[in-house]
Structure 1
């Protein structure tokens, strides 16, 4: 079967996107019930077992019997990988479609969503080469490495500034012989897809996010962070930076109180929501629907 024939047979993947706190999880479940579908998590922090309260992970009751995939699949000490997610998510999509169900991806981690939906390659890594470049940066300075990058990949040199990204771009070039910029994603779907974005009232969202953080605190966020700290949360490069968890680790250290941690989490969450909106607004393929429209489910289902 050629790709065109496969595209005609397979229904489009559905992706529900938008800022944190906009109701993506609820819409995903309701669409799954409407369309006989199953949900695939695309929120990087919800990959982690035990990170429930602080990530607003959907509870069993909230799932309403709808199967959810790629939740609770990692320990907090493990590092999330976009390339691993790409292969795992595409395999789940294929498996769901093979059973005649609809695959509904839900999440606000923009790069993860694009990795699953779009034609996107991930060049490999080489720890030995990476270490050599890091040592060179420490010895001769970042400026020399930037000049080297400019000579082989001027487009990346103009886009990256910090040492980590300069080193990564040089690593990719030395490994593959291709400039790092050649791996930048294009807005081209890997397979048929429909993206539905939740269009929010920003003032209302700010208030909603503050209320949600306070509910998390009341529900035991500090105790959850304490338990995960005992399981090695600080060792995890991804999990330890999660909104709320980074702030409440400081409470455990005695640096700040619960009230200040909550306020810092609110500020950080609002900033994150703005970045998410900027990311998703840049994609012209997304169909935006009012998050509070009483006919939201019906309108979303009509697009699918």
Structure 2
């Protein structure tokens, strides 16, 4: 009997080599890629997100790329619905969904079928007004008073997420963490592969990637996106690299400082990603620098599928 199709997720910190591994796995398992990087959802945000150009995709279909204008707000709930439909459609075509990216809450929302608390525009607007008028520090103080645990885990500079946490606490009367899903069997029995590298080596890759982005035209890309409404966007303009270039264009600091702030922001984000994904016991970790990364990963996936087949037979 043919094994049922189950998705493969390739997750982990930025710059570890997830995209290349995802392509290799898609070729091996007759797959299609489902992007799970929030900023790659945006049309025109290519250089600063390290989005694979169409010519680099090896003819493999990619989903959840270039689906939003920079003026639109990316939300976990909207992504969850759209990506779930993509995964189901790929499996219906008897192909393997290869879910690739490192946006932490997006991964959990998709693979754990996170049910999100309701939203209230009035409540949200009130906290967003506080953020706009008094800054992230004031919002962080409010969150620390309302939900100390959430304030300790959310970056004090992540205004949008703090606003959402305050909204959930106010609407539900419960801590923000109470709305998170319970970690169990991943949706669709997805096998989760984590890709990481030794810290010093990864830092070097991040430095090289940042330099290449600026050399490849990140500033010019941002200038073009301004004409398409980047400044009016809620999420796109805050992306690492784009926010720093906007500050440079506004004469808040020079280009060298913009590069440095982008590098520092990326390194901090990588630390958060690593901490988040390492807490998940379902992740099978791989060294992105291993010369036999692809074959080792394929062997693990083959063994996982054999184990599932044995379990089905035993039942």
2:110 aligned to 101, 105, 116, which one? 116
In structure 1, the residue matched to 2:44 is: 50
Aligned match of 2:295: 298
Question: 2:247 matched to which residue of 1?
Answer: 250
Aligned residue for 2:166? 167
Q: How does 1:213-252 map to 2 (within 5 A)?
A: 213-252=210-249
CA distance in 2, matches of 1:94, 1:263: 42
1:19 and 2:13 matched: yes
Q: Shift of residue 146 of structure 1?
A: 7.8
In 2, the alpha carbon distance for the partners of 1:225 and 1:267 equals: 19
Equivalences, count: 285
Distance 1:280 1:147, change over 3 A: closer
Report 1:190-229 matches (<5 A). 190-229=187-226
Match in the other structure for 2:183: 187
Whether contact under 8 Å (2:124, 2:163) holds in the other structure is no
Q: Are the counterparts in 2 of residues 119 and 190 from structure 1 also a CA contact under 8 Å?
A: yes
How far apart, CA to CA, are the structure 1 residues paired with 2:128 and 2:232? 21
Residues 49, 74 of structure 1: 8 Å contact kept: yes
Hey, what's the Cα distance between the residues in 1 that align with 2:241 and 2:229? 16
Q: Distance in 2 between matches of 1:147 and 1:85?
A: 28
Write the distance in 2 (CA, Å) between the matches of 1:277 and 1:147: 24
Contact residue 199 and residue 291 of structure 1 kept, 8 A: yes
Give TM-score, length-normalised by structure 2. Answer: 0.82
Aligned counterparts of 1:291 and 1:100: Cα–Cα separation in 2: 29
| Contact map agreement 2:5 2:94 (CA 8 A) in 1 | no
The answer to whether the Cα contact below 8 Å between 1:194 and 1:303 also exists between their aligned partners in 2 is: no
Q: Is the CA contact 1:32–1:38 (under 8 Å) kept in the aligned structure 2? A: yes
Structure 1 CA distance for aligned equivalents of residues 29 and 110 of structure 2: 21
Q: Deviations over 1:103-141 (max 9, x none)?
A: 0000010110111101411122121344578899x9xx9
The match for 2:70 among 70, 73, 76 is 76
Q: What is the rounded CA distance, in whole Å, between the counterparts of 2:199 and 2:8 in structure 1?
A: 25
Shift of 1:239: 0.5
CA gap of 1:166–1:264, structure 2 versus 1, over 3 A, is: closer
What's the CA shift for 1:283?
A: 0.7
Q: CA deviation at 1:147?
A: 11
Three-state SS of the structure 2 residue aligned to 1:160 is helix
TM superposition shift of 1:280: 0.7
How large is the Cα RMSD of the aligned pairs?
A: 2.8
Give the C-alpha shift of residue 160 in structure 1. Answer: 3.0
CA–CA distance in 2 between the matches of 1:296 and 1:134?
Answer: 44
**CA shift in 2, pair 1:147/1:255, >3 Å:** closer
Cα offset for 1:21? 0.6
TM-score normalised by the chain length of structure 1? 0.85
Q: Residue 87 of structure 1 is aligned with which of 81, 91, 102?
A: 81
Give the drift of 1:83: 0.7
Structure 2 unaligned residues grouped into runs of 5+: 157-161, 302-315
Structure 1 residue 71 displacement after superposition: 0.1
Q: Which residue is equivalent to 1:3?
A: none
